């Protein structure tokens, strides 16, 4: 897949790297089912309505957030990607004061696509590593 741009490349570049909330409206189905993400309130993130607050809080926590998509596999209406997330904890929206510490952690997601939008996603990001980097003394 080297060199081929996919919907996942667009998603991570526009939504996460650029922080473009308008891209969410284009790329995420309103009724998208999202597995594996929790808001800071502990509730499962679901649908566009649930994703947008999660996105805003995470981007506020890491204003310089950058996701590098390392690999993508496409088969039919499904895509899988492996990525590396980097940023500096500069905001207080994770439930504790900003630490100004850098983080780097990996993640994988598997999505189902329909009509150019993400309609279902399974997320497995190493938030344990992220938390250890932020909370270590």
pLDDT value, residue 71: 94
pLDDT on residue 24? 96
Quick check: 18 pLDDT over 90? yes
Question: What is the predicted pLDDT for the residue at 115?
Answer: 95
Predicted confidence band of residue 116 (pLDDT cuts 50, 70, 90): very high
Position 137 scores a pLDDT of: 57
pLDDT > 90? residue 6: yes
Asked if residue 2 has pLDDT above 90, the reply is: no
d(CA 134, CA 47): 28
Can you tell me the mean pLDDT for 49-55? 91
Q: Are 92 and 98 a contacting pair, CB within 8 Å?
A: yes
Domains of the chain in start order, with CATH, are 7-135 (3.10.450.50)
Q: Which pTM does this prediction carry?
A: 0.90
Contact between residue 123 and residue 37 where contact means Cβ atoms under 8 Å apart: yes
């Amino acid at each position: 897949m080297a060199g081929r741009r996919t919907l996942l490349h667009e998603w991570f570049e526009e939504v996460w790297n650029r922080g473009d909330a308008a891209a969410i409206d284009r790329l995420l189905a309103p009724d998208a089912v999202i597995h594996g993400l929790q808001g800071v309130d502990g509730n499962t993130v679901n649908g566009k309505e649930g994703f947008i607050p999660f996105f805003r809080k995470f981007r506020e926590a890491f204003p310089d957030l950058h996701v590098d998509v390392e690999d993508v596999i496409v088969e039919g209406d499904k895509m899988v990607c492996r990525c590396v997330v980097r940023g500096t904890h500069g905001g207080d929206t994770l439930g504790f004061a900003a630490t100004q510490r850098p983080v780097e952690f990996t993640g994988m997601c598997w999505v189902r696509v329909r009509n150019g939008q993400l309609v279902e996603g399974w997320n497995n990001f190493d938030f344990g590593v992220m938390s250890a980097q932020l909370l270590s003394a």
